[in-house]
A and B are shown apart, each in its own frame.
Chain A
Amino acid sequence: MSDPVSALNGARFDGIASVEEAGLCGMITLRGDFASAGFAAAVNSITGAALPEVGRIAEGTEGAAAWMSTDELLLMVPYAEVEARLAALNEALKGEHALAVNASDARAVFRISGDGARETLAKVAPVDLSAEAFQPGDFRRSRMAQVAGAFWLNGEGTFTVVCFRSVGEYVFKLLSASAHPQSAVGIYKA
């Protein structure tokens, strides 16, 4: 079988923040009824995470679960295990009104790290990314310039950005331009 390759093969740009393609990430789109106990148990069995609160991402021992909308979750698991986890998830969801799909190869994932990370993203997304408003564990679906994307912040101040693979190159160039070394605005003091 052919080797899976990520959208930009680990491209990287260093400026006021470092933008790098994160490589292959396993992602499962899951829709269903959040109020059902069986649904929450199935999510927990696959990722080790609890159901995330609105607009948050819940980290688990085996992966993570992010709140996409009132009936949709994005489950993050290791790329190599995604098919096995999906099968286990479908097994755990037996009898539930739910749908799970492997969306790993439909996506590109980037990481933005460094002091200018908040500013780099804030320049291209209509979101308040100040330290008070956007905190570690917050997850937001929005747009980046002209395309849809989602991002969250981890405890080390690194953003992870998810977008469609078809616009991966656009998003990388966009974030690189936004992280240009001479483009610092300095609105978010570290």
Chain B
Amino acid sequence: MLILECPYCGVKAEETELHAGGEAHLKRFGPGSTDGEFHDYLFMRENPKGVHFERWRHANGCGKWFHAARCTMTLEVFGTYSAQTFEPPQEIRDAITAKRPGWTWRDLK
């Protein structure tokens, strides 16, 4: 069972209170972009074994979206953070580096 702490209400919510929202930190390519960019935005997703960043919504709770960093192999959660950010904050990156030295995810390391 995955347990994530909602950064807004501080509740340690288990999976059934949450709704998964897919990969985090996607940049939208809409009108005016090339076909290649639009294709990549629509279809190309990371599927890592290890460190991953995801969006989650506290659906049966405060209803807010937030981000989570976790390991897809061990289900270890490195931390959750606000949705109002384009990339993981430094403390989340430090927490991952402490547990998984040398991790990479897209162009983050």
Contact = CB atoms under 8 A, between A and B. Distances in A.
Contact of A140 (B11, B16, B63, B64): B11
Contacts of A140: 11
Contacts of B16: 126, 143
A101 interface: no
Contacts of A148: 60
Contacts of B63: 69, 141
Contact of B64 (A54, A67, A70): A70
Nearest to A148: B60
Contacts of B13: 126
A142 B12 CA distance: 11
Interface string A34-55: 0000000000000000000011
B11 A143 contact: no
B98 interface: no
Given A54-B10, A126-B14, A141 B64 contact: no
Nearest to A143: B60
Interface residues of B, number: 13
A103 B1 CA distance: 35
B17 interface: yes
Nearest to B8: A70
A69 B62 contact: yes
Given A142-B61, A148-B60, A69 B14 contact: no
B9 interface: yes
Interface string B51-65: 000000000111110
A68 interface: yes
A140 B10 CA distance: 11
B14 to A, nearest CB: 5
Nearest to A128: B12
Contact of A143 (B8, B10, B17, B62): B17
Given A55-B10, A143-B17, A69 B60 contact: no
A143 B18 CA distance: 10
Interface string B34-63: 000000000000000000000000001111
Given A141-B60, A142-B61, A69 B17 contact: no
B10 A126 contact: no
B9 A142 contact: no
Nearest to A67: B9
16 contacts: A54-B10, A67-B9, A69-B8, A69-B62, A69-B63, A126-B13, A126-B14, A126-B16, A140-B11, A141-B9, A141-B60, A141-B62, A141-B63, A142-B17, A143-B16, A143-B17
Interface of B: 8-11, 13-14, 16-17, 60-64
